Amino acid sequence: MADPRSTRATLLVCCPDQRGIVAALAQTLHGHGANILDADQHTDTAAGRFFQRIHFDLVEMRTDLVSLEAGIGEVADRFDMTWRLSHASARKRVAIFVSKYDHCLYDLLLRHRAGELRCDIAMILSNHPDLQPVAEWFGLPYHVFPITKETKAEQEKREMALIDEAQVDLVVLARYMQVLSGDFVGRYPGRIINIHHSFLPAFMGGRPYHQAQARGVKLIGATAHYATTDLDEGPIIEQDVIRASHRDEVKDLVRKGRDLERTVLARAVRWHLEDRVLVYDNKTVVFD
């Protein structure tokens, strides 16, 4: 049976706030025979920016997709709008980067197998061979690129070539314990999601659980964000926290944190795949 979602599309828009935007987009979609299933919008009054996500069905389209995109483009020109149209029939391709920790990797693969993450996982890449049995269990290609200070630039070139060849849409850093270079991050803006084991902006960089224990914090967290050239300072997609106490040692914080890391990363990846995230001014609008 064909997936009914395959005939659907999602439009994300951002523009200066002004009258008539919602009506213009709705009229354009209706005029082409698209059936709006749900629409959500947000206005940042301080920035004077308008954001909207429209999810619609194309079954009764009276024109073709080229005409529809031309119509949206006309509205976009009128309102000085940036926009992105995604079709559900074009499943996004994902590459997962890992090191030696397996909890986030297992969680993503199990959710994918259960149908929670609608995408194609193209490959798993790592700087260590340790998790190859996991990839084999799920029938996925596993590529190892050992990283040293001397080999980092050349290995990243090989990784990028592999990603481009596989037409990967999203890179997920599932506790990948390497800092990506500016060249790598700059090649895929808004297409790399990282999970940081801290409630950013607190405890950036390495060993955040050790920093948290040393400060005696009463809450620890995890943060999923888009990677940028500024380490751990990219636009935040999702966060969550759990209570800690003076009795917790570092190993206890690590254990508690792993549960957060799994769920926070999975939510961020799912929202990206469902085109629910818009980035602006180093922050995000995440539509429900």
Tokens of 135: 């990839």
Residue 104 CA to residue 98 CA, distance in Å, equals: 9
Q: Give residue 36's Cα distance to chain centre.
A: 24
Centre a 10 Å sphere on the Cβ of residue 120 and count the other Cβ atoms it contains.
14
Q: Are 120 and 170 in contact (CB under 8 A)?
A: no
Please report the sign of the dihedral spanned by the C-alpha atoms of residue 207, residue 209, residue 213, residue 219. Answer: positive
How far apart, in whole angstroms, are the C-alpha atoms of residue 86 and residue 90? 8
Q: Which of 169, 232, 248, 275 is catalytic?
A: 232
232 has catalytic annotation: yes
Strand residue runs (E) in the chain: 8-16, 35-44, 49-57, 82-87, 93-98, 120-126, 142-144, 170-173, 192-196, 219-226, 236-243, 277-280, 283-286
Asked if 240 and 222 touch (Cβ cutoff 8 Å), the reply is yes
Token pair for 225: 């964000």
Catalytic residues: 232
